[in-house]
Amino acid sequence: MGVDRRAAEGFGRAAAAYERGRPGYPQAAIDWMAAQLGIGPGSTVVDLGAGTGKFSRMMHATGARVIAVEPVSAMRVELARAAPGVEVLDGTAEAIPCVDASADAVTAAQAFHWFRGAAALREIHRVLRPAGGLGLIWNRRDKRDPLQAAIDAIIRPHRGRAPSHERDQWREPMLASTLFRPAGECRFHHEQTVDLDGLVDRVLSISFIATLRDDERSMVADQVRSLVDQSPTRLPYLTDVFLFQRR
C-alpha cells in the first residue's frame, strides 16, 4: 500500500522545515518506553513513519539497532543526514520491508494516525518477535498556553479532513484488534525553545499547511510571525506514550 497522497505531498515539501522546526521528545519519555519494552543494546527497533529521524536517533542512543522506515524520499534524505548509524529503508507501516519476527520493538512517533490501522497492525504483528512491544508517542500542543492556542486558531481552518491524533481516533483499530493488548500509558511535559524562524518552520512543517498554495502558506507564515515580539520563545507540549504487547 502507498502512503497517503496528502501526507506524502505535504511532508515531502516540508522535509527541511520539519527537521528545523519540529521538537524532539522528552528524554524521560524515551527512558520510560525503553525500560518498559526492554529496548537497549542488543535490541532491534523498527521505527515506522520515521520522518527525519527525530525519534529514531533518540532510540539509537539507547544502544539499540534502529531500522527507520519512511515512505517519503525527501524525508529519508534528511533522516540519513541527521541520524548516521540508523538504518533507513523505504517502506510503509502497511508493507514493512523487514522479515518475520525480526524486531524486539516497533515504534511510531507522531505517525500512527496516518496509518491504515488494521493493515498496519497486521504488519507490525508479523515483524515483531513473540512478546515484542509496540510503542506509540505523540507531542501534542499544550493549548492551555496562549501562544499554542493562537497557533491552533491560525491553522485549524486549514485542517480539512487531514488525519489527526487529537481526538484519539487511532485507538479504534487498536481496540478492535486481537493482535495486541495494552501494556501501559504515560504523559510527560515537554518544552521546545525556538527563534522566530524556528517557530515559522514548526507551523509550515504541518502536512496540511505545507500543501497550501504559496500565497496561503505565506499568509500563514505572516500570521505566525505576528504572534511574537521577542525571540527565542517557548512552546510547551504534552507528550503521550502508549504501549502495547504482541499477543
Residue 13 has pLDDT above 90, yes or no: no
Residue 168 has pLDDT above 80, yes or no: no
Residue 222 has pLDDT above 50, yes or no: yes
Could you tell me which residue, 226 or 171, shows the higher pLDDT? 226
Residue 3 has pLDDT above 80, yes or no: no
Enter the pTM of the model: 0.93
Let me know if domain 5-141+171-189+238-246 sits in CATH 3.40.50.150: yes
Q: Give yes or no for a contact between 221 and 203, defined as CB atoms under 8 angstroms apart.
A: yes
pLDDT tens digits, one per residue of 94-145: 999 999 999 999 999 999 999 999 999 999 999 999 999 999 999 999 999 9
Mean pLDDT to the nearest integer, 2-16: 72
C-alpha cell at 153: 486558531
- Helix, strand or coil, per DSSP, at residue 25: coil
Q: How confident is the model at residue 58 (pLDDT cuts 50, 70, 90)?
A: very high
The candidate with the shortest Cα–Cα distance to 218, out of 230, 202, 200, 232, is: 200
Q: Give yes or no for a contact between 236 and 190, defined as CB atoms under 8 angstroms apart.
A: yes
C-alpha cell at 155: 491553522
pLDDT tens digits, one per residue of 41-57: 999 999 999 999 999 99
Q: How confident is the model at residue 5 (pLDDT cuts 50, 70, 90)?
A: low
Rounded Cα distance between 140 and 127, Å, is 28
Domain ranges of the chain: 5-141+171-189+238-246
Q: How confident is the model at residue 167 (pLDDT cuts 50, 70, 90)?
A: low
C-alpha cell at 107: 515504534
Residue 1 has pLDDT above 50, yes or no: no
Q: Integer distance in angstroms from the first to the last C-alpha of the chain? A: 24
